[in-house]
Structure 1
Amino acid sequence: MKRRQWLKAAALGTAAPFGTALSTALVPRSAQAAAPLKIGFVYSGPVSGVGWTYQHDLGRKLVEKTYGAKVQTVFVENVPESTDAERVIRQLVADGCKMIFTTSFGFMEPTLKVARDNPDVIFEHATGYKMAKNVGIYQTRFYEGAFLCGMLAGRMSKSNKLGFVASFPIPEVLRNINAFTHGARSVNPQIATKVVWINSWYDPARERDAALALTGQQCDVLYQNTDSPAIVQLAQSKGLYAFGQDSDMSSYGPKAQLTANTVNWGVYYVHKVGQALAGQWKAEDTKWGMKEGMIELPPLNAAVPADAAKQYNERKAEILAGRFFPFAGPVKDQAGAIKVPAGQNISDGELWSMKWYIEGVDGKLPT
């Protein structure tokens, strides 16, 4: 399964396609300084102004700002999740990169293959599940933000029907569907969530069509696990509400976006690069969320009523303090079976292998 859809290269002069010279950002250093740590980033999409790749590139820039002349960063954008990814990663090694971040699920096997041949290079792979001595993995607890967005959706919906535009039926996405629905039903038990799958991470036309289909079923608040602002734009045009994903998308729908479930990769990149510079890096399985600063939600839309905002902010504070967990029991699946008993919390193992719909989701899970 590809983690990010391969996007077309940006126009000549603004981005280098994967088959051309690397885009680089060289940090100046004095002649007396030690050679900088050269760090490569592999992106599946273009470095644009919003979305998944954009957030990763903000993280790269934070590494530069934090470590200055101690580092040199390079990136390659628009890399397909195919055998071409291996070639790009090998070229980064050949160009002297001693630390490489591969930022899409579909880069997992190419990363591991190149890592086996280069034990002196540090590799970090986003959203994967396979590790090696020189390969660490990292993921986000997006579901924390999805639960909070659900709370807002449950309060703002007039039809009691929420719409979710989903990419692929994998645990990463199911966690967010379920957390969003669970959050909504925690404040409005009458809520039902309808899901449309588009089998793509980034396809603005299909995202818009899916959102239109949901609005045709009386869904008046929309959420997404896709990357473009098309859904927020549609909500803006129809006078409905929606949520940004990965990035703050309020500029595309200032009246529509209630808030956004955004990711700050920079806190992780600064942390791991710091380990490498200190000679203390080790391969780890990292899952960070709100309390670590990886998941952030921008200020609420002024349309959110004061009591709903208060309820949201109180729950947000509890998540940040580690006093509340979105999948704390009791949790039932779509058929009414207990998945998490009262007084218990779901394990990370169950979270990261989730393959079921929670109570309140309307429809069948694709097989």
Structure 2
Amino acid sequence: MSSVLRRTVLTLLACAAAAAASPALAQAKMKVAAIYTVPVEQQWVSRIDKALKAAVARGEVEYVFSENVANADYERVMRQYAEQGNVLIVGESFAVEAAARKVAKDYPKVAFLMGSSGKPQAPNFSVFDNYIQEPAYLTGMIAGGMSKSGKIGLVGGYPIPEVNRLMNAFIEGVKEVNPKATFTVSFINSWFDPPKAKEAAFAMVDKGVDVLYAERFGVSDAAKERKVLAIGNVINTQDKYPETVVASALWHMEPTIDAALAAVKAGQFKAEDYGKYSLMKVKGSELAPLGSFDAKLPADLKAKVMAKQQAILDGKFTVKVNDAAPKTK
């Protein structure tokens, strides 16, 4: 090997070693952390986790998370992740708004993207929510058309805007198909208590309800045992309940997460409301494929639902956002 070639090879090897060791020369991955107050498999946070894992698979981020974090411990965990160099922290601040916003003020160079009922807080506290009222309306139409008794039951976690707007959209969808339908509404005051949700659903079935809106885990189990129908929320569980879950309103967090990551990467992250990324037109939500119920829906009902879906996508029909707590009626 000539001395020139030897020097060239050694130089290339040195550059490669330096690139491997130096974030400035190598393509550095963004460090992202998430904080969940419930188990990561709970439907709402599982959608955030799924979207962040997709970014990991693309090689864009390093991702860590904490689950089952108590409200009293939330601020400490947020500060810990901020101190560890994470450039984006994702979480749910519904029950810890004051603490979460305080942490964001203390770390202005860190981007915070939090599930929240409140407004964005300059300069770095952005909010998001599951604005999936559009497919929720469509599932309501299906429920109204599939119910034989006209009695619909809804079991939710807490009567907060994030839950209320989906229930109200579902109810309005039912009423479009069956104006005479009646509704029984119950909140279990927990984000993750399947046995309690199941008992609430049993009580409704005992009163003649034959379609259940499963805002929480446990409701579809009750529907399966009592041989009534269920409407899913946020995730599609029809594979587990092929004879029970007739339709679901799906939430896709990928548009929200991807928009936040792009803003952080470009150095342009600011306090914004990311709710718009949950709408159907940007693929932030959708009516799940009907699957095992595709052939069971009456043709006229399916046609009405598909027409309404197209009207939503075309901007010709807007699902009203109603954050008021729904009541039994």
TM-score, normalised to structure 1, is 0.78
Residue in 1 that maps onto 2:164: 174
Residues 83-104 of structure 1: CA distance to partner in whole angstroms, max 9, x if unpaired?
Answer: 3001111110121112111135
Distance of aligned partners of 1:41 and 1:312 in 2 relative to their CA distance in 1, 3 Å threshold: same
The one-letter amino acid of 1:85's match is Y
Residue 249 in 1 paired to residue 237 in 2?
yes
CA contact (8 A) 2:212 2:230 kept: yes
The match for 2:298 among 305, 308, 313 is: 305
The match for 1:164 among 154, 158, 176 is: 154
Higher relative contact order (CA 8 A, sep 6+): 2
CA contact (8 A) 1:112 1:135 kept: yes
Residue 355 in 1 paired to residue 324 in 2?
yes
Residue 38 in 1 paired to residue 34 in 2?
no
Residue in 2 that maps onto 1:147: 137
Distance of aligned partners of 1:104 and 1:290 in 2 relative to their CA distance in 1, 3 Å threshold: farther
The one-letter amino acid of 1:62's match is A
Deviation at 1:362, TM superposition (A): 3.3
Residue in 1 that maps onto 2:83: 94
Residue in 2 that maps onto 1:204: 194
Residue in 1 that maps onto 2:259: 271
CA contact (8 A) 1:201 1:225 kept: no
Residue 113 in 1 paired to residue 102 in 2?
yes
Residue in 1 that maps onto 2:67: 77
- Report sequence identity in percent: 33
Distance of aligned partners of 1:127 and 1:306 in 2 relative to their CA distance in 1, 3 Å threshold: farther
| SS of match in other structure, 1:140 | coil
Deviation at 1:116, TM superposition (A): 1.2
The one-letter amino acid of 1:40's match is A
Distance of aligned partners of 1:284 and 1:292 in 2 relative to their CA distance in 1, 3 Å threshold: same
Distance of aligned partners of 1:325 and 1:130 in 2 relative to their CA distance in 1, 3 Å threshold: closer
The one-letter amino acid of 1:63's match is A
The one-letter amino acid of 2:147's match is S
CA contact (8 A) 2:256 2:274 kept: no
Separation in 1, partners of 2:37, 2:109 = 25
The runs of 4+ residues in structure 1 deviating greater than 3 Å are 29-32
Separation in 1, partners of 2:165, 2:208 = 24
Separation in 2, partners of 1:280, 1:207 = 42
Residue in 2 that maps onto 1:125: 114
Deviation at 1:291, TM superposition (A): 1.2
CA contact (8 A) 2:199 2:222 kept: no
Separation in 1, partners of 2:88, 2:40 = 20
The one-letter amino acid of 1:41's match is A
Separation in 1, partners of 2:169, 2:177 = 13
CA contact (8 A) 2:143 2:174 kept: yes
| SS of match in other structure, 1:106 | coil
CA contact (8 A) 1:83 1:110 kept: no
| SS of match in other structure, 2:275 | strand
Separation in 2, partners of 1:168, 1:290 = 25
| SS of match in other structure, 1:309 | helix
Distance of aligned partners of 1:356 and 1:121 in 2 relative to their CA distance in 1, 3 Å threshold: closer
Deviation at 1:57, TM superposition (A): 0.7
Note the aligned Cα RMSD (angstroms).
Answer: 1.8
| SS of match in other structure, 1:194 | strand
> Whose helix fraction is larger, Structure 1's or Structure 2's?
2
Gaps of 5+ in 1: 1-28, 328-347
Deviation at 1:231, TM superposition (A): 1.3
| SS of match in other structure, 2:274 | strand
CA contact (8 A) 2:126 2:273 kept: yes
Residues 147-194 of structure 1: CA distance to partner in whole angstroms, max 9, x if unpaired?
Answer: 111100110000011000122222222222221111111111111111
The match for 2:54 among 34, 41, 62 is: 62
Separation in 2, partners of 1:225, 1:234 = 13
Residue 237 in 1 paired to residue 225 in 2?
yes
Residues 220-246 of structure 1: CA distance to partner in whole angstroms, max 9, x if unpaired?
Answer: 0000332x1x21122122221101222
CA contact (8 A) 1:246 1:261 kept: yes
Separation in 2, partners of 1:210, 1:267 = 34
The one-letter amino acid of 2:26's match is A
CA contact (8 A) 1:37 1:71 kept: yes
Separation in 1, partners of 2:191, 2:68 = 14
CA contact (8 A) 2:119 2:273 kept: no
Residues 325-354 of structure 1: CA distance to partner in whole angstroms, max 9, x if unpaired?
Answer: 123xxxxxxxxxxxxxxxxxxxx6xx4xx3
Distance of aligned partners of 1:356 and 1:98 in 2 relative to their CA distance in 1, 3 Å threshold: closer
The one-letter amino acid of 2:185's match is V
Residue in 1 that maps onto 2:314: 321
Gaps of 5+ in 2: 1-18
TM-score, normalised to structure 2, is 0.86
